[in-house]
Amino acid sequence: MLPLHAKRIVLGVTGSIACYKAADLASKLTQLGAEVDVILTAAAEHFIKPLTFQSVTGRRAYVDQDLWGPEGHVLHVKLGKDADLLLIAPATANTLAKLAAGQADNLLTLTALAATAPLMLAPAMDGGMFDHPATQASLETLRARGAHIHGPVSGHLASGLSGVGRMLEPAELAGHARVALGAGGPLAGRRVLVTAGGTQEPIDPVRVIANRSSGKQGYALAQAALDLGAQVTLISGPTALVPPVGAHLLRVQTAVEMRDAVLQHAAAADMLLMAAAVADFRPSQAADKKIKRAEGVPTVELAANPDILKEVSQQAKKPRMLVGFAAESNDLLANAQGKLASKGLDLIVANDVSAQDAGFEVDTNRVILLSKDGGQEELPLLSKYEVARKVLEKAASLLK
């Protein structure tokens, strides 16, 4: 199932050059599974055509003319009432002022008055217009009324000047939309702690012992937890992945750093999902200078790293739900059952990393969920996001 399946978003597009980015936003939200109804203001129509939006959403895009069409008397009410989120991106200074004043002189502002869904605004305008006390007052009024305001950000502006006024990038706005739409989900009010990626253990200042974990499954878990309404802390080993919008990210390098970060946050968490591939061993003494070839082949002596999950499960104050991952190349079920018991877990996600289409680096995974109560659920080949959703839905049901 797609993350925004069955979610209805009204995307209001107003007259700013950032309109061209709104098409990308509409496309991204549609690809996430949302039903996106676009409303353009007259000024937006100068920048971009309804057809552009229709082509990416597969749905009709509305313009002011529709106000006076056959359904004109109910269109704004219907669009407003059906919406799970009203997102206006880009939002001009003019539209912000109208919204703050409760004016309703076009289809978009009428719909905004009729809507009961959360209102999200992505302002875009020249820096001076954004700084103007009138615009700031509009934003303050709207914020006080509960609107979520994201951006603008600083950078190059269409005027050729540089300053604060650029619309937040579509990918980030889509992330904020996910957080807003997830609120009230099955994990609302829950604190979820996720670890992701592999740890790196220094040999010397330039070399590390690493592993093949990409962090994809852990990042997908963090995103899925946000989509289900949780407050998420993501403790990540080194990876180039972009963290999900809304997650509180803590970067660590070594297993010991990860242990410290996990222990610091575990007491306040309701759930710990330990997806990280923690190095079991580290060089007992990292050289403080780069080891030179001329010195000959070095011997690297290893020391054991802490077993983070085991340590957490022995704490007096710990998350009510401990979820581990077992990446195995053989005897999958027996090894996973062993870890479920020895690490004091509620749930373990077993995956055979010797398969080509599951495990390290790829975007898909095939796992078996084993629970403390003896439950066993074998999932088909799924995207890592879908695996994450299933794991979290299972964990959420056990938490109840």
Distance in Å, CB of 255 to ligand CTP, minimum: 6
Distance CA 40, CA 50 (A): 7
* 370 interacts with ligand CTP by CB under 6 A: no
* 308 interacts with ligand CTP by CB under 6 A: yes
* Choice between 136 and 284, CB closer to ligand CTP: 284
Among residues 38, 235, 276, 350, which is the contact residue for ligand CTP, using CB under 6 A?
276
Choices 52-60, 73-81, 155-163, 300-308; region in contact with ligand CTP by CB under 6 A: 300-308
* Choice between 34 and 272, CB closer to ligand CTP: 272
Quick one: how far is CA 23 from the chain centroid? 21
Distance in Å, CB of 303 to ligand CTP, minimum: 12
Active-site choice (106, 211, 305, 330): 211
Distance in Å, CB of 191 to ligand CTP, minimum: 19
Closest chain position to ligand CTP (CB): 308
Residue whose tokens read 């109804």: 37
* 359 interacts with ligand CTP by CB under 6 A: no
Among residues 45, 169, 307, 393, which is the contact residue for ligand CTP, using CB under 6 A?
307
* 324 interacts with ligand CTP by CB under 6 A: yes
Residue 276 near residue 195 (C-beta atoms within 8 A): yes
Among residues 305, 351, 365, 371, which is the contact residue for ligand CTP, using CB under 6 A?
305
Q: How many CB atoms lie within 10 A of CB 305?
A: 18
Angle at 361 between CA 358 and CA 362, to 5 degrees: 50
* 385 interacts with ligand CTP by CB under 6 A: no
Active site residue 94: no
* 216 interacts with ligand CTP by CB under 6 A: no
Distance CA 127, CA 103 (A): 24
The mark string for 222-261 relative to ligand CTP (x by CB under 6 A, - otherwise) is ---------------------------------x------
Distance CA 88, CA 328 (A): 47
* 179 interacts with ligand CTP by CB under 6 A: no
Residue whose tokens read 């206006």: 88
The CA-atom distances, in angstroms, between 359 and each of 364, 383, 390, 394 are 7, 11, 16, 20
* Choice between 50 and 237, CB closer to ligand CTP: 237
Distance CA 219, CA 241 (A): 8
SS3 53: helix
* 327 interacts with ligand CTP by CB under 6 A: yes
Residue whose tokens read 């009410």: 77
The 3-state secondary structure of 209-251 reads ECCCCCCHHHHHHHHHHHHCCCEEEEEECCCCCCCCCCCEEEE
* Choice between 150 and 282, CB closer to ligand CTP: 282
Q: How many CB atoms lie within 10 A of CB 82?
A: 13
Distance in Å, CB of 308 to ligand CTP, minimum: 3
* 396 interacts with ligand CTP by CB under 6 A: no
* 274 interacts with ligand CTP by CB under 6 A: yes
Among residues 45, 260, 280, 393, which is the contact residue for ligand CTP, using CB under 6 A?
280
Angle at 240 between CA 176 and CA 277, to 5 degrees: 100
Distance CA 77, CA 67 (A): 11
Residue 167 near residue 151 (C-beta atoms within 8 A): yes
β-pair type (347-352, 367-371): antiparallel
Among residues 83, 167, 278, 350, which is the contact residue for ligand CTP, using CB under 6 A?
278
Which residues in this chain contact ligand CTP in the complex, by CB under 6 A? 255, 274, 276, 278, 280, 305, 307-309, 324-327, 339, 343
- Residues with a known catalytic role: 211
